A and B are shown apart, each in its own frame.
Chain A
Amino acid sequence: MTRLSNAFSKPHPALVCLVTAGDGDTAANLDALVEGGADVIELGMPFTDPMAGSTVPCLSEGQFAERLGVEM
C-alpha cells in the first residue's frame, strides 16, 4: 500500500484514471496515461455481467474481436 499512499501525498490532488483492458491497445493506453500524468491507474477487466462498473463496457458478442484472456 506504500506506493498507493505515496501517490496521494503529492502537493496536487491525485489524478486517478480508469481504462478498460482490451479496449484498443492496452499497453499503449497505459503508457499514454502515465505520460499524460496519471498518478493512479485503475485497470478494469471486462466482465460479462458488470454490476456498477460505471464506464466498464459489457463483454458481448462482436464487441471484442478476440476473447480477452487473463495472464497475471
Chain B
Amino acid sequence: MASNPNTYKNQPDERGHFGDYGGRYVAETLMPLVLDLEREYRAAQADPAFHAEFDDLLEHYVGRPSPLYFAERLTEALGGAQVWFKRDELNHTGAHKINNCIGQILLAMRMGKTRIIAETGAGQHGVATATVCARFGLPCVIYMGAEDVRRQSPNVFRMKLLGAEVVPVTSGRGTLKDAMNEGLRDWVANVHDTFYIIGTAAGPHPYPELVRDFQSVIGKEARAQMQDRIGRLPDLLVAAIGGGSNALGLFHPFLDDPDVKMLGVEAAGHGLDGDEHAASLLGGFPGVLHGNKTYLLQDEDGQITEGHSISAGLDYPGIGPEHAWLKDTGRVEYTAITDEEALEAFQLLCRTEGIIPALEPSHAIAAVAKRAKEMPKDSVILANLCGRGDKDIFTVAERLGVEM
C-alpha cells in the first residue's frame, strides 16, 4: 500500500508495514494473540471511555502534563540555539515508559488477561510495568539481562519492592535483546492468560503502532506548550533512540510540520568504526528480529551481533520499524553519540541546570550540544529528557573512577 504523500502520520498500513518495515513475523502460536490484540486495540481507540480512563491515569497517577522547560544556563553555556526540554523524567517512575504501560495494562484488562510479562533494559520499563501491575493487582514477571541486572541494580530492587518477579537472563550478552527473547518465549508458552507489555516501539504489529500512539502524548503536549509559551514551533527536535519509543512519542505529532526538523540519536558506544556500538540505523542493515523487519546489527548470514552502549536502555541491536521507514523517507535525520560524549553531556546538564539525566537522554543532550552551537540564537531546539539519572549514578561513578 502506497503511503499518502500528504501525511507522515498514517502509518502503518493494515498489515502493520511502515514502507518495507514492520510486519508480523511471529510463530503460528502467537498469531491468534497478535490478531486479538489488534482487534482489541482498534476497539479501544474508538472507545471514549478508554481514552478517558487513560487520560485520567496520566494526569492523576503519572503526573502529566510534564513541564516544558527552558534550559537557560545550558543555552548560555552552548552559545547558540535556545535549548528546551520536555521533562518526562518528572513522571511517576522517572521516565517516559509509564505512558505506554498505562495504555497497555488497560488493554490487557480489557482482554481479560491475568498475568503480565515484560522485558527491560535499563529497568525503567520493568519498573513502570511492575508499577502498573501493583496499581491494578496483576502478577508480574520481568525479564532482564544479567548484565543489566548488575549495572542497573537500583531498578532491580525497585521492581521487587513493587511485587514483581525479576528473572535474570544469561543468554547472549545478558542485555535487552536477550530479555526480549525470553519475554517472547514465555508469551508463546502462555498465550491463554498472559499479556506481554512491550516497552518500546518494536515487536510484531500492532505493538509499534500502539506504543507510538500511547507515547505521542509527549509530542502532543509539547506542541501545545510551545505554542502557549513562545507562540511558535521548535526548529529542531532531538531524542535518544534505543528501540525508539520516546523519540516517536515526541516526533510523531510534529511529522506534518515541515519546518520542524528532527534528529534521532543512536548509541555509538566505543565508536561506529568498530563492533562496540548499538547504532542499528547507522551501522546495520534490514533484517527480521522480535517479530518485525527493521534495521539490525547482524552479520551477512543474518545472525544478530551483540551491540554495546554504556546505557542499558540504548543497548539493543535493532530499532523500531517506524524509525527505519522515517530514515528511508528522509523526514528524520539520525546520528550517533559515543559513551564518552554521553558521559560529558550527563555532567554538563548536572552542572548547568541542576538536573541529573539518565544516560539514555544524555546521548540526546550531547547531540543538542553539538547542534546548538551551529544554530542562531533565535532558533529553538526541543529535546526529550526521557528519564532521570538516579539509576545511573553507580555506573557513572565507576566510569569516573569514583568510589561510593
Find chain A residues with CB under 8 A from B302 CB.
Answer: 47
Q: Which of B29, B171, B188, B301 contacts A58 (CB 8 A)?
A: B171
Chain A 13-29 interface 0/1 with B at a Cβ cutoff of 8 Å (1 = within): 00000000000000000
Q: Given A58-B171, A60-B171, answer yes or no on A48-B27 (Cβ-Cβ < 8 Å).
A: no
Partner of B188, one of A51, A60, A68: A51
Give the residues in chain A near B185, CB-CB below 8 Å.
Answer: 51-52
Chain B contacts with A in 360-391, Cβ cutoff 8 A: none
Binary contact readout B288-330 vs A (1 if CB under 8 angstroms, 0 otherwise)? 0111000000000111100000000000000000000000000
A52 to B28, alpha carbons, bound, how many Å?
9
| B33 CB within 8 Å of chain A | no
Query: Is B205 in contact with chain A by the CB < 8 A criterion?
Result: no
Which of A49, A60, A70 lies at the interface centre, i.e. has the most chain B CB atoms within 10 A of its CB?
A: A49
The 8 A CB mask of A35-61 against B (1 = contact, 0 = none) is: 000000000000111111000001110
Asked whether B177 is an interface residue with its Cβ less than 8 Å from the other chain, the reply is: yes
The answer, yes or no, to whether B184 is at the interface (CB within 8 Å) is yes
Q: How far is the CB of B306 from chain A (nearest CB, A)?
A: 9
A49 and B27 form a contact (CB under 8 A): no
Q: In the complex, A72 Cα to B30 Cα: how many Å?
A: 29
Distance, CA A59 to CA B304, complexed state (A): 10
Contacting A51 at CB < 8 Å: which of B26, B172, B301, B303?
B26
Interface pair A51/B181, CB less than 8 Å apart: yes
**In the complex, A11 has a CB within 8 A of chain B:** no
Contact B304 A51 (CB under 8 A): no
List chain B residues, Cβ under 8 A from A47. Answer: 302-304
Total interface residues in chain B, CB < 8 Å: 19
Q: Chain A residues with Cβ under 8 A from B177's Cβ?
A: 49
Complex CA gap A36/B185 in Å reads: 32
Q: With the chains together, A58 CA to B30 CA distance in Å? A: 20
User: With a CB–CB cut-off of 8 A, which chain A residues contact B290?
Assistant: 49, 51
Contact of B304 among A49, A52, A68, A70 (CB under 8 A): A49
CB atoms of B172 and A48 under 8 A apart: yes
The A-contacting residues of B in range 162-205, CB under 8 angstroms, are 171-172, 177-178, 181, 184-185, 188
Interface of A is mostly: loop
Contacts of B27 in A (CB 8 A): 51-52
Kindly provide the distance from the CB of B202 to the nearest chain A CB, expressed in whole angstroms.
Answer: 13
A69 in contact (CB, < 8 A): yes
Contact (Cβ within 8 A) A52 B188: yes
Given contacts A47-B303, A59-B303, A70-B301, contact A52 B30 (CB under 8 A): yes
| Bound Cα distance A47, B29 (Å) | 19
By the criterion CB–CB under 8 Å, are B303 and A48 in contact?
A: yes
Max count, chain A CB within 10 A of own CB: residue among B177, B188, B289, B303: B303
B172 CB → nearest A CB, Å: 7
Q: Which residues of chain B come closer than 8 Å to A52, judged between CB atoms?
A: 26-27, 29-30, 184-185, 188
> CB-CB < 8 A to A69: which residues of B?
301
CA of A49 to CA of B26 in the docked complex: distance in angstroms? 13
Residue of A nearest to B171 (CB): A58
Chain B residue at smallest Cβ distance from A54: B27
CA A69 – CA B300 in complex, angstroms?
A: 9
- A51's nearest neighbour on chain B, judged by CB, is B184
- Please give the distance in Å from B65's CB to the nearest CB on chain A: 38
Cα A47 to Cα B27 in complex, Å, equals: 15
- Which one, B29, B30, B188, B289, contacts A49 given CB within 8 A? B289
Contacts of B303 in A (CB 8 A): 47-48, 59
A residues neighboring B (CB under 8 Å): 47-52, 58-60, 68-70
Contacts A49-B289, A51-B181, A60-B171 known; 6 new A-B pairs at CB < 8 A: A49-B172, A49-B304, A50-B181, A51-B26, A52-B185, A60-B172
13 A-B pairs with C-beta separation under 8 A: A47-B304, A49-B172, A49-B181, A49-B289, A49-B290, A51-B184, A51-B185, A52-B27, A52-B29, A52-B184, A52-B185, A59-B303, A60-B172
